[in-house]
Amino acid sequence: MQQRILAIIACLACVSLAAPQQLLPNPVAITRDERTDNGDGTFSYVFEADNGIAAQASGVQGFQGQSNIEGSYRFPLDDGSGFVEVRYVADENGFRAESPFLPTPHPTPAHVIELLRIAEEQRAAGITFE
């Protein structure tokens, strides 16, 4: 029984020694890290790394007690041809992001636009359906 336990421990030791010792092949250095938190819902931060990854945001108090945030982030494309940059706003109207890299919905078909127009006319005329 002791020989089996010794063999299992030896196998586990071999597996742990064979495991990769470094998870990130190229460590990334942080080149800029600035943060301000005023404790009242207002804040700002800027973060940059030497590989081009960056993020920045600022927040102010909103009318409903939330922080209204405006910011952006960027990261390099896998093929090295450039960067993805996303700008966003998060406030009482929700989260809205803008970037040419974000997917866009398909255009609304003409027959759906017509049905929506008819439904709006019916609502304006007081017609309801149960």
In which residue are the tokens 């970037």 written?
99
Q: In the chain, what is the straight-line distance between the N-terminal and C-terminal CA atoms, in Å?
A: 75
Pick the more confident residue, 101 or 50. 50
pLDDT tens, residue by residue, 47-90: 999 999 999 999 998 888 788 999 999 999 888 888 999 999 99
Residue with tokens 């049905």: 115
The 10s digit of each residue's pLDDT in 116-126 is: 999 999 999 99
Residue 3's identity, in one-letter code, is Q
What pLDDT, on a 0 to 100 scale, did the predictor assign at position 83?
93
Q: Which residue has the tokens 């089996």?
A: 4
Provide the b/e sequence for 55-85 (b: ≥16 CB within 10 Å): ebbebeeeeeeebbbebebbeeeeeeeeeee
Distance CA 6, CA 9 (A): 5
Is the whole model's pTM more than 0.85, yes or no? no
What are the boundaries of each domain within the chain? 29-121
- Assign 100 to helix, strand or coil: coil
